[in-house]
Structure 1
């Protein structure tokens, strides 16, 4: 009887040790996963802010080109009087300079400074290649360097203007964060392109991008549901990006059409709210 009791107590003791060990391991795994997810969330917020900035810059560049070349008789402009626009041509090549000085507020509320150089040749078979370079350029206190190349189609298969945009940009934030963004996006201009006003412009954006941080992380993103960008809103109003970071994946959902600074990041089945500014 004593022997049986001793074995039972010993078995219970061993079970308790094993159970406690497993519980600690599981708790450690949960804590590690949560920590990894939170890092993913913070980095995704940084990348999303860079995304909003770079898309705002590209939107401005495309609008500048459209106002110069495609919107004859426009009723209003994105660019106020604080922008000095210089246009010249030589041997069929057009050179445009947008000089924002030390600070200029666009009609959409973005505060920019510095210089943008735009170069393009003649239209060939309904297409044109446009090159942009930035000099000492800032967008809402974020330094933006580099440039973009745009392959412009006057009419795509849907009869809409479309741009295939390759960006190579470096974004430097006030706190010291530096993000290098490289990617290709297709922007279909679906509304407002013949209205003569920038206010009703709407684009659908697809494609991919890679963002590398000076803090050591890399984010790769591909659009799985077209991003909708409206000219009067500084953020995407809908669409989904699938994000990959160090083998981990998540999705970033920009909503159902409302203009707000919120996106929902889903990682391992958990939803996190991302504020885009």
Structure 2
């Protein structure tokens, strides 16, 4: 009889242990999900870093064209050029290399309303006839809409892709720091196809489609994956991306960042884990 009672006690203890273990596992899973959660603020920050990154791409593209294909830009009135008269471009030639410094000084407003200061520095080989060209770029005390941008990357520029359009494949590693010292970093690859406006006198009809993926890191070190699942549309005349979708993910958590239907405005929507879409104003970021 004592042995039977002992068996019952042992079995009960084992079952109780399993219950507690199950509860602890569930608690751990819930804690993991909570720590990996993607909130609206995270998605908003990703949107702002994207806007900075694409704004930098536009500056580099226009400066490069101005130096390598001056017939496309310099023969036209200054008002037809994307880079305004407040920018100073300096060229240094060393053997077979060219260094282009794009200097916005203490502040300069671009044609589409973005405000920049500091320098972007480009380096590439002197070979105007090359079908492709690798351009490295870096920043020196550079600010985009009063946010500091540090880091750099490289751009493989093709004169003509399979669609017959100019295309740039950008590999980047940048950190964006806000005035309150909040910062976020992004590493990845973006392919930027110039689909409209190439070769026309005015800059305002230039349109680009952007694809790619990368990782996005918050100030606390949390890393998220970011993938363009519907090409982002950049109309140079607009201050913001006008359409396209980016998916953010962290294990089982997801966020969908939708830039809209092509209308030039500061609106985008965010949906967390398949939930209701929430509208945000990109100009408030």
The normalised TM-score by structure 1 is 0.82
CA-CA distance at 1:112 after TM superposition: 1.0
How many angstroms apart in 2 are the aligned matches of 1:233 and 1:240? 17
* Aligned partners of 1:192 and 1:198 also within 8 Å: yes
Structure 1 residues 131-165: Cα deviation after superposition (integer angstroms, max 9, x where no partner): 11100000111000111210000000010000000
Q: Is the 8 A contact 2:36 2:250 kept in 1?
A: no
Residue aligning to 1:113:
117
Structure 2 match to 1:56? 55
Q: Is the 8 A contact 1:80 1:105 kept in 2?
A: yes
- Following TM superposition, by how much is the alpha carbon of 1:125 offset from its aligned partner in structure 2, in angstroms? 5.1
**1:228-247 superposed matches below 5 A:** 228-247=233-252
Matched, 1:222 2:227: yes
Which residue matches 2:178? 173
Give the match for residue 278 of structure 2. Answer: 272
- Runs of 4+ in structure 1 deviating by more than 3 angstroms, as ranges, are 35-39
Offset from partner CA, 1:160-209 (integer Å, 9 cap, x none)? 00000011111001122111111100000001110132211100000012
Residues matched between the structures, number: 248
Supply the distance in 1 between the matched residues of 2:236 and 2:97 (Cα, whole angstroms).
29
Q: Distance in 2 between matches of 1:268 and 1:39?
A: 8
The 1-side partners of 2:274 and 2:68 are apart by 47
| SS of residue in 2 equivalent to 1:96 | strand
SS at match of 1:108: coil
Retained in 2: the 8 A contact 1:112–1:138?
A: yes
Contact 2:38–2:254 at 8 Å: present in 1 too? no
- Residue 153 of structure 1 corresponds to which residue in structure 2? 158
- Structure 1: 5+ residue stretches without partners: 1-31
Q: 1:38 to 1:184 in 2, by over 3 A?
A: closer
In the superposition, the TM-score normalised over structure 2's length comes to 0.80
Shift of residue 55, structure 1, vs aligned partner: 1.2
- Over the aligned positions, Cα root-mean-square deviation in angstroms equals 2.4
Structure 2 matches for 1:65-104, cutoff 5 A?
65-72=64-71, 73-75=75-77, 76-104=80-108
Residues 111 and 237 of structure 2 are in contact (CA less than 8 Å); yes or no, is this contact kept in structure 1? no
> Aligned to 1:54, what secondary structure does the other structure show?
helix
Partner residue, 2:207: 202
Structure 2: segments with no counterpart, 5+ residues: 1-30
- Larger displacement relative to structure 2 (177-186 or 36-45): 36-45
Q: 1:6 corresponds to which residue? A: none
Partners in 2 of 1:235 and 1:128 — Cα distance? 28
